[in-house]
């Protein structure tokens, strides 16, 4: 971590009170940590909007009895090549599987890959979460 610099901000009393409630519920020790996380989140969003290099996890739950779905999931990952760094597969019950794909690439390519998988018939739910190395630079 770099050298800390103190700064001040002016906020409406009501806004600050709501912020304090939210950060207390999340378990932050102080406002500074919460503000730093908000800034990092904003920086990640900027990287995504600028189609920069990102890392992402795509978590999906799907019915493994859906005809041809397993093959389509594997084919999508193979077509993605080096964008898929790793996968983890868990059997939830007789019908449902959970899979997590760890991905890397431009934000657009990662988002396109995720959307292609999320829209496959038999994928019941999924979510893409992205981050960037830039968010960790201070």
DSSP for 103-128?
EEEEHHHHHHHHHHHHTSTTEEEEEE
pLDDT, residue 92, reads 97
Res. 127 pLDDT band, cuts 50 70 90: very high
**Is the pLDDT score of 2 beyond 90?**
no
Give the dihedral sign, CA 109/115/117/118: positive
pLDDT, residue 138, reads 53
Domains (range + CATH), the chain: 12-138 (3.30.70.1150)
**What is the rounded average pLDDT of the residues 100-104?**
98
Which H or E run includes 131?
strand 123-131
User: How confident is the model over 30-71, as pLDDT tens digits?
Assistant: 999 999 999 999 999 999 999 999 999 999 999 999 999 999
Which H or E run includes 80?
helix 69-80
Residue 57 neighbours by CB under 8 Å, 6+ apart: 100, 101, 102, 103, 128, 129
């Amino acid at each position: 971590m770099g050298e800390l610099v103190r700064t001040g901000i002016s906020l409406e009393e009501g806004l600050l009170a709501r912020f304090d409630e939210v950060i207390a519920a999340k378990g932050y020790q102080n406002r500074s940590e919460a503000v730093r996380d908000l800034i990092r989140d904003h920086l990640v969003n900027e990287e995504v909007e600028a189609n920069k290099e990102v890392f992402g996890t795509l978590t999906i739950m799907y019915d493994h009895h859906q005809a041809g779905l397993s093959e389509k999931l594997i084919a999508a990952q193979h077509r993605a090549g080096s964008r898929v760094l790793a996968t983890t597969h868990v059997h939830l019950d007789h019908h449902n599987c959970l899979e997590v794909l760890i991905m890397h690439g431009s934000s657009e390519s990662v988002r396109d890959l995720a959307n292609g998988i999320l829209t496959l018939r038999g994928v019941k739910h999924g979510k893409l979460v992205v981050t960037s190395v830039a968010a960790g630079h201070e």
